Chains A and B, each alone.
Chain A
Amino acid sequence: MEFTTHSLWTLIHGMGFGALYLLAGSGALIELRHRFYPSGANQDRTQGRFLGWYLAAMAALAWLTVLTGTYLIYPWYRTPPPAGTANLAAYPRAFLLAHPSTSAWHSIGMEWKEHVAWLVPIAITVAAVVAIRHRNQLVCSLSLRVTLQSFVVLSLVAAGIAGFFGAMLDKTAPVGGGASIQIVKGDGK
């Protein structure tokens, strides 16, 4: 049982940072709902710091996801094959574009994913800063709460699009290469 360093980084990027962001996002929506629309009349005004730092952690995850995706994995994905290469399996972008049945995964999937993913850290960083710096105003300003929640939801939509296409691209044309890492040695049966 082994994998390569490139596939390990893809795993960290997608299933580590990216998936954790999506999971944290659903938690953030519940926390926002619980904090600002409590069932009782007594709103918890003094413990708003938790929400701010929770969103800041999400922002850190979003930045880690886009930075590893753009500057580490994307260059491996788009590496052009040497002239005359018949087996394109090690060159995901070239592999996808070589077949009419898979080319849209690049021309629509990757082209959308690589840009839409960058909207996520912008939205969630602003949401985190608003929740930390303006937490008192959040309690009494409905407009600010609606905007904050909208940015969290929109960041999840953008992250969901990027995550979906990331998973499908990795299924169709996985990023491989790099040094091999052996986890468990098989018994050779």
Chain B
Amino acid sequence: MSATRNTNVDSPELVPNGPAAAAILSAGIGSFALAFITVLADRSAALKLLLTFSKPVGPLSGVTTIAVVFWIAAWIVLDLLWKRRELPLSRIGWGAIALFVLSLLLTFPPLADLL
């Protein structure tokens, strides 16, 4: 039992890194979707109304629900596409981090207003 576990632990290169890359990039996509929809909703009263899934919460309910759906959908699709692939994890990781940092900045109202 422990021999089997040690084999797996010591041979991680046998497992493709595609699923890990899919999870990481999906976080970047989900974060950016949230920031992007927030910026769009800020510019359109009609979109704000459309995104009001819950009246007491307002447009925030739609913005966050759609972003989470985007994130999960991106994760599922990328996982299916990359589950047996070996990918450049460094580039994907930095891409996801860049998207996340961009999302942090885009949700800052004074910066979003400049766009």
Query: Residues of A at under 8 Å CB distance from B?
Result: 45-46, 66, 70-71, 74-75, 78-79, 107-108, 111-112, 114-116, 118-119, 122-123, 125-126, 129-130, 133-134, 136-137, 139-141, 143-144, 146-147, 150-151, 154, 157-158, 161
Minimum distance in angstroms from A35 CB to a CB of chain B:
13
Secondary structure at chain A's binding surface: helix, strand, loop or mixed? helix
Q: Knowing A115-B60, A116-B104 touch, does A130 contact B31 (C-beta < 8 A)?
A: no
Give the number of residue pairs across the A-B interface with Cβ within 8 Å. 118
Alpha-carbon gap, A21 to B90, bound state (A): 28
Alpha-carbon gap, A45 to B11, bound state (A): 12
Alpha-carbon gap, A150 to B34, bound state (A): 19
Residue in contact with B17 in the complex, picked from A118, A141, A150, CB distance below 8 Å? A141
Chain B residues closer than 8 Å to A157, beta-carbon distance: 104
Query: Residues of B at under 8 Å CB distance from A?
Result: 5-6, 8-10, 12-13, 15, 17, 19-20, 23-24, 26-27, 30-31, 34-35, 38, 54, 56-58, 60-61, 63-64, 67-68, 71, 89-90, 93-94, 96-97, 100-101, 103-104, 107-110
> Chain B residue with minimal CB distance to A114?
B60
Residue in contact with A143 in the complex, picked from B23, B63, B93, B104, CB distance below 8 Å? B93
A119:B100 contact, CB within 8 angstroms: yes
Chain B residues closer than 8 Å to A115, beta-carbon distance: 34-35, 38, 60, 63, 107
Residue in contact with A122 in the complex, picked from B5, B27, B60, B101, CB distance below 8 Å? B27
Alpha-carbon gap, A66 to B65, bound state (A): 12
Minimum distance in angstroms from A167 CB to a CB of chain B:
18
Alpha-carbon gap, A150 to B67, bound state (A): 21
Chain B residues closer than 8 Å to A125, beta-carbon distance: 27
**6 tightest Cβ-Cβ pairs between the two chains A and B:** A147-B93, A75-B56, A136-B12, A126-B27, A143-B90, A115-B107
A70:B60 contact, CB within 8 angstroms: yes
Q: Knowing A108-B110, A126-B26, A137-B20 touch, does A75 contact B57 (C-beta < 8 A)?
A: yes
Minimum distance in angstroms from A138 CB to a CB of chain B:
8
Alpha-carbon gap, A125 to B13, bound state (A): 24
Minimum distance in angstroms from B52 CB to a CB of chain A:
12
